[in-house]
Amino acid sequence: MILVTGATGTIGRALVEELRSHGAGPVRALTRDAARASFPEGVETVRGDLADAGSVKPALEGVRSLFFIPGLGEPGSDAEVLGAAREAGVEHVVLVSSITVRTHPHLGPAARHAAGEQLLQDSGMAWTVLRPTQFASNALWWAASIRERNPVRVAYPDVGLPTIHPADIASVARAALTDTRHRGRTYALTGPERVTARQQVAALSAALGREVAVAGIGREEAQREMAAYLGDEVADAVLDVTGGDVNEELLRVRDTVAQVTGSPARPFHRWAAENAAAFR
Ligand SMILES: NC(=O)c1ccc[n+]([C@@H]2O[C@H](COP(=O)([O-])OP(=O)(O)OC[C@H]3O[C@@H](n4cnc5c(N)ncnc54)[C@H](OP(=O)(O)O)[C@@H]3O)[C@@H](O)[C@H]2O)c1
C-alpha cells in the first residue's frame, strides 16, 4: 500500500493519477475533507490532518511507502507523523523538499526544508528526497489578473528559471515509490529549459489566443503585494529566488527527470496549454 499525503494538491493529485495509471498497486489518498475530495476509481480516500499525528494513524495501517509533504501541519507535527509512520511499519518515505536547500540555504523556507530532510534521514526509514525548483503552476498567481484582462505584474520579468511541470515531480515520485533503486537518493529536479516570466506569459497568451501584457514592477512594490498573502519572510525569499538573488546552481537545467523517469521533462508551454481554462 502506498499512502499519498497532500493528495488533493498540485503534486499529489498528479501522483495519485500516475500511480493508478501505472498499476502501482493499492493507493490511499489522504485529505482533511474526504467529502470534498474526489479521486480516480480504485483509490482509497482516507481522512487525516497532518497537524494531528493521531488522526493519521489509521491511514498508515498496512502502508509500505509514503509520499510526504512536510510543513503542512503544526511545528513539531512532522516528527510525530514520521514517528507514527515508523511505528506503523512504513519502510520508505519520498519527501518533497526544495532546490533552495542547496542554492539558498540561508533563507528561512530553505532551512525549514533542510530540517524536514534531516528529520526523515534520522527516522530509521529508507528515504528519497525530491528537491524541485519553481513549479510551472506558480503561474496561477497571475490567474485573477489575466482573467480580469489586467497586465501581469512581476518584479523580474526577464530572469529565466528552469521551471518544472508538477506532473514531472509526480512522475519522479512514482518512480521513487515503486523502485527500490531510488532509496537513499536526493534528486534536484528542474524543467527542460529556462523560461522567463515574460516567456511564460507569452505561452499563456498563445494558449488563450489573446495577448496578455506584462508590467515590470519594483521589488518593494512586489514585496508589499506578495507579503499580504505570503507574509514578509516568504515574500522576500520568493523574490530572491525568482530574480533578486539567483545563482548558477538555481539557474542550471538538470536532466534528472529524464534520468529517473525515462521521459524528457515537460516544457512550460505544455503546462500553459493544459491549464489555460484557469486563466479564461
Ligand atoms: N511552488 C513551488 O515553486 C515550490 C518549489 C519547491 C518546493 N515546493 C514545495 O512543495 C510543497 C507543496 O507541494 P504542492 O504544491 O503539491 O502542495 P499543495 O498544492 O499546496 O497541496 C497541499 C495539499 O495538502 C493538504 N493539506 C494542507 N494542510 C494539511 C494538513 N494539515 N493535513 C493534511 N493535509 C493537508 C491539502 O489537501 P486537503 O485540503 O485535501 O487536506 C492540499 O491539497 C511545499 O512543501 C513547497 O515548499 C514548492
Could you give the maximum distance between any two Cα atoms of the chain, in Å? 55
Give the pLDDT confidence score for residue 279 in this predicted structure.
98
C-alpha cell at 271: 503546462
Find out whether the beta carbon of 10 lies less than 6 Å from any atom of ligand 1: yes
CA torsion sign for 98, 271, 234, 174 is negative
Is domain 2-132+165-189+253-261 given the CATH code 3.40.30.10 in the classification? Answer: no
* Average pLDDT per block of 10 residues along the chain, 280 residues long: 98 97 96 94 96 97 98 94 98 98 98 97 98 98 97 98 98 98 98 98 98 98 95 98 98 98 98 98
Residue 258, SS3 per DSSP? helix
Closest CA to ligand 1's atom 40? 31
Find out whether the beta carbon of 234 lies less than 6 Å from any atom of ligand 1: no
Give the pLDDT confidence score for residue 220 in this predicted structure.
97
Give the pLDDT confidence score for residue 24 in this predicted structure.
94
C-alpha cell at 62: 498496512
- Which candidate, 55, 113, 110, 105, places its Cα nearest to that of 84? 55
- Which candidate, 68, 64, 46, places its Cα nearest to that of 1? 64
Give the pLDDT confidence score for residue 75 in this predicted structure.
87
Alpha-carbon distance of 259 to 108, in angstroms, equals: 30
Give the pLDDT confidence score for residue 271 in this predicted structure.
98
- Which candidate, 82, 85, 90, places its Cα nearest to that of 117? 82
Atom number, ligand 1, closest to the C-alpha of residue 71: 45
Find out whether the beta carbon of 132 lies less than 6 Å from any atom of ligand 1: yes
Give the pLDDT confidence score for residue 111 in this predicted structure.
97
Find out whether the beta carbon of 6 lies less than 6 Å from any atom of ligand 1: yes
Find out whether the beta carbon of 12 lies less than 6 Å from any atom of ligand 1: yes
Give the Å distance between the CA of 209 and the centre of ligand 1.
Answer: 31
